[in-house]
Amino acid sequence: MKKAAFWIAALAVLGGLQLFVRDIVGAYNYQILVLVGINIILAVSLNLINGYTGQFSIGHAGFYAVGAYTCAGVVVYGQEAIRGATGFLPELGQNTVLLLVGLLCAAIAAGLAGLAVGIPSLRLRGDYLAIVTLGFGEIIRVLILNVEAVGGARGFSGIPQLSNFFWVYLGVVVTVVTVHNLVQSSYGRAFISIRDDEIAAEAMGVDTTRFKVLSFVVSSIFAGIAGGLFAHFTMYLHPNTFLFTTSFYLIIMIVVGGLGSIEGAITGAILVTVLLEVFREFGAFRLVNFAILLVLIMIYRPTGLLGSWTLVRAGRRPGRAA
Amino acid sequence: MAILDVKGCTKTFGGLVAVKDLNISLRQGALYGLIGPNGAGKTTIFNLITGVYTPDEGTITLAGHEIQGRKASAIARLGISRTFQNIRLFGSMTVLENVKVSQHMRKSQGLMDAILRTSRLREEEERIERDAMELLKIFHLDERAHDQARTLPYGSQRRLEIARALATEPKVLLLDEPAAGMNPQEAVELMHLIKRSRDDFGVTVLLVEHNMKVVMGVCETIQVVDYGETIALGAPREIQEDPRVIEAYLGGA
Amino acid sequence: METFLQQVINGISQGSAYALLALGYTMVYGVLRLINFAHGDVYMVGAFAGYYIANNDAVQANLGASWMTAVVVMAGSMAVCAFLGILIERFAYRPGRGNSPYTLAFWLAIVGSSVGRMVGGSTPALLAGAAAGAVLGVGLDRLGIRPARQSSHLTLLIIAIGVSLFLENGGQLAFGADPKFFPEIIPTRRIQLGGLTVDSQRLTVLGVSVVLMVLLTLIINYTKTGKAMRAVSFNLDAAKLMGINTDRIIAFTFALGSALAGAGGILVSLLYPRIDPLMGIMPGLKAFVAAVLGGIGSVPGAMVGGLIIGLAEVMAVGYGQSTYRDATAFVILVLILLLRPSGIMGKRTSEKV
């Protein structure tokens, strides 16, 4: 019952906010707010594999891209059929079904991509894993670049605007709750045991390959959902949005906040997105100083801004409902 | 019938023969010692049994099932658990969580239970926590249950390794130099704990140890290996008087 | 058949340029176990340094379009990059490994100069900003704000990403975001080799790369510093205990690798004269792939890896679709690593249990 109450409250609060959040903060800030939400989903999910399971992936942008293009593709090409089948619903209902179908496909496609990349790659360790995930991310991007149906190098336009503050932050809540519950369960303990000592984990019966792939797939699924939400918010996709530099920014978010904690990933996502947006008018000056800030944070505070400070330590308080 | 049977196992690394045509047979409930000079191949034997390495030749049977060549995690689930010579705890986890990791294979919770945090999961988590705390109590670690494992003193870390291994509910427990770095008092306590593991948990113990007080005090049967081959096998008293053993240890002096 | 041989020659010269870059990755990885993501950007700086030297009035007036210009451009660019490599090591990676003074002063001076330029817009304002930043940095250091002692592999990697972002965007400020065109410092001539036509640029690229690689091999194998480099990459701590000044060796390694990157920047600019501040990203990444392919840490491996990537790319463009060009390197990487997880010439390492 507590759970149902939580979700009803979440839906009500987000739905209520959706009605006037844009008028309160203004169109520009609204845009940033939504982007922050998308980046939170990406960072929190990437943290599952990089922070909790301790595997260094720099290919998150690839799964983000798979989700974005799948969702947009399904909606753009399946729009007529889906609207036809749901003709009895009002416009808002049709849009909701359309978006949910798109997101479901995005999640499945990104999850499958994660599985396809994860199974062969996760045998590799450290830097080799890093570079192979980066490579897969780039391969995915180049493949998309060559699919004419989704615009190829021209970019994919004409995507209907279906997602908004409400959907993005519902996505944030779902992601955070899922990742939180997962790391608090025996799955989370298995993930962290792999990070701490893979050989010992294996000796204690943890099938490390299986759990690595699992965390990779779950992480990819949420990246895919973030992609779908992004596509239907900006209404235009270009393969260059999903360059490996995007993966770099996501890693920066989770490391700046502090690896292996959900609050860290959220803090990092907010900080990096807002910093980059606020100083946008300063052009290249902004990124130069952002880069210096990053270098200095890493030199002077390598455990991230939040460090080891975290509200909920994995597995410490069992039986907590969320 | 033997619970663990190593038959004719050989393992070479490049040109080096680490283990040669080795046989070990543990009957159910044995306290079995494996000793030998440094570099005799003892840890390699552990790594063969636990699936870190695959033997070049020979078979390893656990309760009638051949296990050589299987993944280490699969062998652990079949009922062999171990500790490590160079302690390998999950350093960032708490003491309690270290033990809980080992219990995961007895879980019935699925991925959806975990994500949705169902009542089934919560009940199971409570049970896991209860069992883990009980185990920690036996190993005198309950007071530090919520401290990070890496903050424990050395002797406690060794005890935690044993507790963690026992939490997998193994049939056979492999202890790799558990007394290393312990002071005499801790070593005595360790001997009680090893005996208790057998008596209360019903595990069969295979012990590699350099501390002869511990080996002679705990083990009922001792096998001596040198250069990967067995040179003596018998009760502690027989081993102590065996000329080949003395030769191996004193290097023909 | 002839077009095929033509492609092979193109591929080898392209590949030798990748190899020069890959060597820098592999050497730095050897001593620090660090993927120096900023390496591709050093190569970009090398190309721009060459551009400015070649267009310098004094160089133009005194040397004109002689081969001396090419030598001066090459040497100058390598020197600039070597210095840049040392700076990066000294102020980004060394503090990442432990305490080292003036780190804050260095970075805050840059922040100060950028603020000075933005607010004042003049050179004095820029210098005043830099001075203020440096003073603030020294002050904070005196107050006890020091680099954290502990640092992980990951920390260094993120620092490398930061330095890379810094150089890319700093490059946009310093050189402008628009592409520039590298002058023709070597006259183009078509040379007939049997039935093949090779232009002089490609031959120069190949020749210079080979000479540099031979030089590097000699330095690594036959000089005292080279021996120390090998010792450090074998085991940094043991080398330190043996009395090797590891910080100096690491700095030297960066200088050497960066100089090669600078040379690579010039050579590639001969083939593809369009240069811009982001030009280092893709070649840098591919050169790293080449290094991993050959087995990272292995010098001959980097050379072989570079050649493979160069050849494969040229073939993919020649016989396939050019839009897939950027994926070629990664497809090869993925295939090889899945078959041989430690690269072609890498050493297999397994953890001791």
Q: Where are chain B's structural domains? A: 2-250
Cβ <8 Å between B93 and A206: no
Q: What is the per-residue pLDDT for C63?
A: 72
CB atoms within 10 A of CB A309: 12
CA distances to A72, A231, B123 from A168, in Å: 15, 11, 33
Query: Which are the contacts of C179, defined by CB distance < 8 A and separation ≥ 6?
Result: C274, C275, C276
How confident is the model over C112-157, as pLDDT tens digits? 988 888 787 788 888 888 999 999 988 888 888 888 766 677 788 8
Mean pLDDT score, C5-29: 89
Question: Would you say residue A301 has pLDDT above 90?
Answer: no
Cα A13 → chain centroid: 22
Mean pLDDT score, B20-45: 90
CATH no., domain B2-250: 3.40.50.300
Percentage of chain B modeled with pLDDT above 90: 68
Q: Is residue A288 part of a domain?
A: no
Smallest Cβ–Cβ distance between A288 and the set C147, C166, C326 belongs to C166
How confident is the model over C202-251, as pLDDT tens digits? 888 888 999 999 999 999 999 999 999 999 988 888 999 999 999 999 99
Question: Would you say residue A316 has pLDDT above 50?
Answer: no
Smallest Cβ–Cβ distance between B90 and the set A182, A184, A197 belongs to A197
How confident is the model over C155-201, as pLDDT tens digits? 888 899 999 999 999 999 889 889 999 988 887 888 887 777 788 88
Kindly identify which residue of chain B lies nearest to residue C351, measuring between CA atoms.
B52
Q: What is the per-residue pLDDT for C150?
A: 62
CA A287 – CA C40 distance, rounded (Å): 18
Q: Which residues of chain B have a CB within 8 Å of the CB of C353?
A: 43, 47, 52, 84
Most confident of A217-221, A261-265, C242-246, C327-331: A217-221
B112: exposed, middle or buried (C-beta count within 10 Å: 0-12, 13-18, 19+)? exposed
Q: What is the per-residue pLDDT for C337?
A: 80
Question: Would you say residue A315 has pLDDT above 60?
Answer: no
Give contacts of A 112-151 with C, CB under 8 A.
Answer: 120-121, 123-124, 126-128, 130-132, 134-136, 138-139, 142-143, 145-146
Any idea which residue has 């070049």 for tokens? B56
Mean pLDDT for chain A? 90
Residue A249: pLDDT band (50, 70, 90) is very high
Mean pLDDT for chain C? 87
Give contacts of A 198-227 with C, CB under 8 A.
Answer: 199
CA distances to B111, C18, C226, C310 from C13, in Å: 53, 9, 27, 8
Question: Would you say residue C35 has pLDDT above 70?
Answer: yes
Percentage of chain C modeled with pLDDT above 70: 96
Amino acid, res. C111: V
CA B56 – CA B68 distance, rounded (Å): 10
Q: What is the per-residue pLDDT for C151?
A: 64
Strand bridging mode B204-208 / B172-176: parallel
Domain housing A48: 27-242
Say whether residue C353 is in contact with chain B using an 8 A CB cutoff: yes
Instruction: Give the DSSP per-residue string, C221-270.
Output: HHSHHHHHHHHHHH-HHHHHHTT--HHHHHHHHHHHHHHHHHHHHHHHHH
How far off is chain C from A71, nearest CA to CA, in Å?
A: 24
Give the residue among C166, C220, C214 at the shortest CA–CA distance from C26.
C220
Q: What is the per-residue pLDDT for A309?
A: 46
Q: What is the per-residue pLDDT for C149?
A: 67
Mean pLDDT for chain B? 90
C neighbours by CB contacts (3+ pairs under 8 Å): A, B
Q: What is the per-residue pLDDT for A236?
A: 96
How far off is chain A from B136, nearest CA to CA, in Å?
A: 16
Mean pLDDT score, C319-328: 79
B185-191, Cβ contacts within 8 angstroms, sequence gap of 24 or more:
B186/B155, B187/B211, B187/B213, B187/B214, B190/B158, B190/B159, B190/B214, B191/B217, B191/B218
DSSP state of B212: H
Mean pLDDT score, A280-295: 84
CA C73 – CA C210 distance, rounded (Å): 18
Question: Would you say residue B47 has pLDDT above 90?
Answer: yes
Question: Would you say residue B224 has pLDDT above 50?
Answer: yes
Question: Would you say residue A313 has pLDDT above 50?
Answer: no
- Substitution target from C25, C165, C344, C352 for chain A, most A beta carbons within 10 A: C165
Give the residue among A41, A110, A104 at the shortest CA–CA distance from A75.
A104
Q: What is the per-residue pLDDT for B167?
A: 94
CA B186 – CA B183 distance, rounded (Å): 5
Say whether residue A286 is in contact with chain B using an 8 A CB cutoff: no
CA A191 – CA A54 distance, rounded (Å): 8
Q: What is the dihedral of CA A23, A25, A26, A32, to 10 degrees?
A: -130
Amino acid, res. B69: G
How far off is chain B from A209, nearest CA to CA, in Å?
A: 10
- Please tell me the least confidently modeled range out of B217-221, B223-227, C291-295: C291-295
Q: What is the per-residue pLDDT for B253?
A: 44
Question: Would you say residue B252 has pLDDT above 90?
Answer: no
Cβ <8 Å between C92 and A301: no
Three-state secondary structure string covering chain A: CHHHHHHHHHHHHHHHHHHHHHHHHCHHHHHHHHHHHHHHHHHHHHHHHHHHCCCCCCCHHHHHHHHHHHHHHHHHHHHHHHHHHCCCCCHHHHHHHHHHHHHHHHHHHHHHHHHHHHHHHCCCCHHHHHHHHHHHHHHHHHHHHCCHHHCHHHCECCCCCCCCHHHHHHHHHHHHHHHHHHHCCHHHHHHHHHHHCHHHHHHCCCCHHHHHHHHHHHHHHHHHHHHHHHHHHHCCECHHHHCHHHHHHHHHHHHHHCCCCHHHHHHHHHHHHHHHHHCHHHCHHHHHHHHHHHHHHHHHCCCCCCCCCCCCCCCCCCCCCC
Domain C2-95+179-339 fold is: ABC transporter involved in vitamin B12 uptake, BtuC (1.10.3470)
Q: Which residues of chain A have a CB within 8 Å of the CB of B84?
A: 199-200, 203
Q: Which residues of chain A have a CB within 8 Å of the CB of C35?
A: 127, 130-131
Say whether residue A78 is in contact with chain C using an 8 A CB cutoff: no
DSSP state of B210: S
Residue A258: pLDDT band (50, 70, 90) is confident
Residue C348: pLDDT band (50, 70, 90) is low
Domain residues of chain C, as ranges? 2-95+179-339
In contact, A243 and A227? CB cutoff 8 Å:
no
Q: What is the per-residue pLDDT for A310?
A: 44
Cα A183 → chain centroid: 16
Kindly identify which residue of chain A lies nearest to residue C338, measuring between CA atoms.
A120
Mean pLDDT score, A195-214: 94
DSSP state of C323: G
Q: Is residue A255 part of a domain?
A: no
Question: Would you say residue B57 has pLDDT above 90?
Answer: yes
Question: Would you say residue A271 has pLDDT above 90?
Answer: yes
- Please tell me the least confidently modeled range out of A147-161, A307-321, B231-245: A307-321
Percentage of chain C modeled with pLDDT above 90: 43
Number of domains in chain A: 1
How confident is the model over A63-101, as pLDDT tens digits? 999 999 999 999 999 999 999 898 898 989 999 999 999
Q: Is residue A310 part of a domain?
A: no
What are residue B61's DSSP bridge partners? Answer: B5, B66
- Please tell me the least confidently modeled range out of A115-124, A193-202, A214-223: A115-124
In contact, A36 and A193? CB cutoff 8 Å:
no
